[in-house]
Amino acid sequence: MSNLFKKAKSAAPAKKAAAEREVFPIDSSVLETEICTLAKLNKQIAELSAEAKLLTKSVKDQGFDKFVEVYDDRAKFPGSMTIKAGNGEFMFIPMDKYLSIDKDAAEEISAISSALVTEKTTYTMNTKLVEKYGDVISDMIEKSKKISDDDKEKLIGATVKYEITKGTIKVLKDDYDNSVSEMLELIQPVYMMKGLKDASEETES
């Protein structure tokens, strides 16, 4: 057995070294400056983008905490909220849109209330089989003797999707034993931020 492995290894094609790319020079100090400046800017943009991503998460998380606090205190959906911290201000927008859920999550949420989850089934026709049986497709599929029993079962497919019911985010204080925070963690609504501003910059201008 070991000999077979050795033979297979010796028969394997050797990995070719990557060919060096040909370089085409342009004698231009202006182009040199532009390339170097662009390279620096792209590096700065990448660094700033990474920092902005971290700050966005932090600001949004704190906006979410305030949203949950107000929702609990007022016992009703507060809608979009303007949040201010010193000179900093932004609008926190909870949306009636939700991340996708699978069957297991749908069952867990439905256990709280079946009204929280909407099941949608999409039926599709197998394109290849429709083309194959195009002349007889108008006949009643179940009665047709021209389509095999196996193909009859394959002809129509079904895709089942589970979605959080529209409007759920607005009724989280309605007869649910779970806290607002727990419900939001389960239904996973989408949140947006907009109108970020620094009031001190407006004063200076």
Q: Are residues 105 and 182 in the same domain?
A: yes
* The two three-digit tokens of residue 119, written as one number: 């099941």
* pLDDT for the residue numbered 59: 97
172 residue type, one letter: L
Please report the beta strands in 42-177, taking only residues with DSSP state E, as ranges in sequence order. Answer: 81-85, 88-98, 117-125, 156-164
Q: Is 159 helix (H, G, I), strand (E, B) or coil?
A: strand
Question: Has residue 21 been placed in a domain?
Answer: no
* Rounded CA separation 114/123 (Å): 23
Name residue 124's beta-bridge partners: 157
* pLDDT for the residue numbered 47: 97
Q: Are residues 205 and 166 in the same domain?
A: no
Q: Are residues 177 and 129 in the same domain?
A: yes
End-to-end CA distance of the chain: 81
Q: What is the mean pLDDT of each run of 10 residues along the chain (205 residues)?
A: 57 72 93 96 97 96 96 94 96 96 94 93 80 68 75 78 94 83 94 92 67
List the Cα angle 117/118/119 in 5-degree steps. Answer: 120
Question: Has residue 10 been placed in a domain?
Answer: no
Q: Are residues 135 and 176 in the same domain?
A: yes
* pLDDT for the residue numbered 3: 58
* Rounded CA separation 72/184 (Å): 12
Q: Are residues 120 and 179 in the same domain?
A: yes
Question: Has residue 168 been placed in a domain?
Answer: yes
Q: Are residues 141 and 197 in the same domain?
A: no
106, 177 Cβ separation under 8 angstroms:
no
Name residue 101's beta-bridge partners: 162
pTM comes to 0.70
* pLDDT for the residue numbered 1: 47
Residues 6 or more apart whose Cβ sits within 8 Å of residue 113: 175, 176
Q: Are residues 80 and 125 in the same domain?
A: no
Give residue for tokens 């000179």: 87
Q: Are residues 179 and 110 in the same domain?
A: yes
121 residue type, one letter: T
Number of domains the chain contains: 2
Q: Are residues 142 and 171 in the same domain?
A: yes
| Residue numbers of the domain that contains 112 | 100-187
